[in-house]
Chain A
Amino acid sequence: MKKTLWRRIIMAGLRGFYRNRTVSLSSIFILTITLSIVTSFYLSRAIFDYTLDQIREKVDVRVYFTVDATPEQVTDIEAKLRGLTQVKTVTYTSKEAALEEFKKKHEGDQLTLQALDELGSNPFGASLSIVAKDTSQYEAVAQQLSVGSGLLGDAAGAVDKINYYQLKDSIDKLNNIIGWTNTVGFWLSMLFILMSCMIVYNTIRLAIFVYRDEIAVMKLVGASNMFIRGPFVVEAILYALTATIIVLALFFPATVWLTKKTVFFFEGMNIHSYYTSHFFELAAMLLISGTLLAVVSSLLAVRKYLKV
């Protein structure tokens, strides 16, 4: 019996979806716009996160060692730094590598290179480049490196300088920007979700308003609430499914075009690759959110007319 009921509900929903084409098309149109905005938001967020990550990657704290620092002292500090929970990577640059790097940088500058030659010895010390897991953790890392903290121990004298304090202002500014954009992003997405819900709810409410007399008649001929609601829910699922397919199909060429236009601007971020690699995640998100939105709107809208 239950099987028959479900079959009848699904068939009625499919028939309604096909026969009320104007209503179906307008609902799909609104859902397509809403889900397109959700997708744009999803992709912008990815671009934004990628750009922020790029900036984060460029920020590091460097520990410069004195020329006299022994390799043991440097590797000892390097090992201790790697043991810190806040630290993501530690890159070692030897005295020789630092000299090579300097020479390479000043390749065309004969005057500087001559002055370096006249010194007769390598004036550069080794250095460690530390990248923290989060920009807000640089301060904690810097504190660990301060004299008397225990991390440097006997090797404190081997450290020439730590550039965190020169970078502090920039790092603080970056932390503020990240915090601020996360907060704004959160509230924007909340506002956006609310607006989307209202638009879709009102569209479906208007669509169901057309059927208010029919719903009353269905009640009067003895149809149960589930038997009346069911086909509307099936139609709502079909709206969401169709809108999701349209949005995914539209964004495929759109991301190809966008990638061509922005690949240099976003420093190597390939929006189309991101889109294809996250395709199923995005499809599931659109389908679930679209279906939830449409079904809940439909149930709320029908409920009003079931009170006969």
Chain B
Amino acid sequence: MLYFDRVSKEYDNGNKVLDTISLTIHKGELVSVVGHSGAGKTTLIKLLLAEEHPTEGVVSFNSDDIHNLRGNDMTNYRRKIGVVFQDFRLIPNKTAYENVAFAMEAAGKHDDDIREDVPHVMDLVDLKDKMSHFPHQLSGGEQQRVAIARAIINRPEIIIADEPTGNLDPLNTYDIVQILKKINDLGTTVILTTHNKGIVDNLGRRVITMEDGRITRDQKSGKFTM
């Protein structure tokens, strides 16, 4: 499904953050990417989202080189991916409902579908009673649940969660991980970057460990080890 073929990323200042990464992620997997700060996890995610371009190598989604996608092709590719960020990145002047509905509107979904699906997904993340709240009226955990609702609303093929629990307390962390696990159980591929040993160990799924821009370990059913 997703292929990294000898991918390197070096910034203009000579800082090499990814060094000849080769990696395959299959449909339906839940993959945790772990590593210290600066190990290259976020760059890996940015390359997947085409926010950054590789200096060398190819990143492919199915058979498409995602960095060669332009215009509508890029828009369509991004609609197949749901993203959850550590800092939530909700649109501040839209309510929780509107933030989630925005992804559907952007995808050109019908109004009836939006009216039906958004409350359903908000219910799934346990925020049905706070749909009309603006992000600043929600707690960190609630904001992250809105972000997850937005990420899954279009039934994407992949969910990318970049340190989704980084700003959350243990209780909210547990909730978010359970939601991600549920999403994966329903067949969506989930890529999760995290520092949290507890999460990785509890999941008991594939773990990719990164260090200094390289993959040092790739275990089918791994634990957090550095």
> Does A278 make an interface contact (CB < 8 A)?
no
B108 engages A221 (CB within 8 Å): no
Contacts of A227 in B (CB 8 A): 105-106
B150 engages A220 (CB within 8 Å): no
Closest residue of chain B to A224 (Cβ to Cβ) is: B75
B83 engages A214 (CB within 8 Å): no
B93 engages A221 (CB within 8 Å): no
Q: Would you give the shortest CB distance from B32 to chain A, in whole angstroms?
A: 21
Query: How many A-B pairs with Cβ below 8 Å?
Result: 50
> Does B111 make an interface contact (CB < 8 A)?
yes
> Does B69 make an interface contact (CB < 8 A)?
no
A213 engages B89 (CB within 8 Å): yes
Bound-complex Cα distance A4 to B113 (A): 13
A214 engages B106 (CB within 8 Å): no
Interface residues in B60-113 by Cβ distance below 8 A to A read 72, 75-76, 78-79, 81, 83, 89-94, 102-103, 105-108, 110-111
Interface centre among B81, B102, B154 (most CB of A within 10 A): B102
Contacts of A213 in B (CB 8 A): 89
A16 engages B106 (CB within 8 Å): no
Report, as a range, how many residues of chain A touch the other chain: 20 to 34
Q: Would you give the shortest CB distance from B166 to chain A, in whole angstroms?
A: 17
Bound-complex Cα distance A206 to B76 (A): 30
Q: Would you give the shortest CB distance from B190 to chain A, in whole angstroms?
A: 17
Interface centre among A20, A218, A223 (most CB of B within 10 A): A223
A219 engages B78 (CB within 8 Å): yes
Closest residue of chain A to B109 (Cβ to Cβ) is: A4
A220 engages B51 (CB within 8 Å): yes
> Does B49 make an interface contact (CB < 8 A)?
yes
Bound-complex Cα distance A5 to B106 (A): 9
Contacts of B75 in A (CB 8 A): 222-224
A224 engages B72 (CB within 8 Å): yes
B83 engages A8 (CB within 8 Å): no
Q: Would you give the shortest CB distance from B85 to chain A, in whole angstroms?
A: 8
Bound-complex Cα distance A31 to B49 (A): 38
Bound-complex Cα distance A154 to B94 (A): 89
B93 engages A20 (CB within 8 Å): yes
Q: Which of A4, A19, A217, A222 contacts B79 (CB 8 A)?
A: A222
Q: Would you give the shortest CB distance from B144 to chain A, in whole angstroms?
A: 14
Closest residue of chain B to A228 (Cβ to Cβ) is: B106
Interface residues in B125-163 by Cβ distance below 8 A to A read 150, 154
Bound-complex Cα distance A219 to B103 (A): 10
A16 engages B93 (CB within 8 Å): yes
Q: Which of A1, A4, A214 contacts B91 (CB 8 A)?
A: A214
Bound-complex Cα distance A223 to B108 (A): 9
> Does A308 make an interface contact (CB < 8 A)?
yes
Q: Knowing A227-B106, A308-B51 are in contact, say whether A222-B78 is a contact too (CB < 8 A).
A: yes
A221 engages B102 (CB within 8 Å): yes
Q: Would you give the shortest CB distance from A117 to chain B, in whole angstroms?
A: 92
Bound-complex Cα distance A220 to B102 (A): 12
Bound-complex Cα distance A16 to B75 (A): 23
Bound-complex Cα distance A34 to B58 (A): 51
Contacts of A223 in B (CB 8 A): 75, 102, 106
Interface residues in A9-48 by Cβ distance below 8 A to B read 15-16, 19-20
Contacts of A4 in B (CB 8 A): 108, 110-111
Q: Would you give the shortest CB distance from B118 to chain A, in whole angstroms?
A: 14
Q: Mark B162-195, 1 if CB is under 8 A from A, else 0.
A: 0000000000000000000000000000000000
7 A–B contacts, CB within 8 A, in A order: A1-B108, A8-B105, A218-B106, A220-B78, A221-B102, A222-B76, A222-B103
Other A-B pairs beyond A222-B79, A223-B106, A224-B75, 11, CB < 8 Å: A4-B110, A213-B89, A214-B92, A217-B90, A219-B78, A220-B78, A220-B83, A222-B75, A222-B107, A222-B154, A223-B102
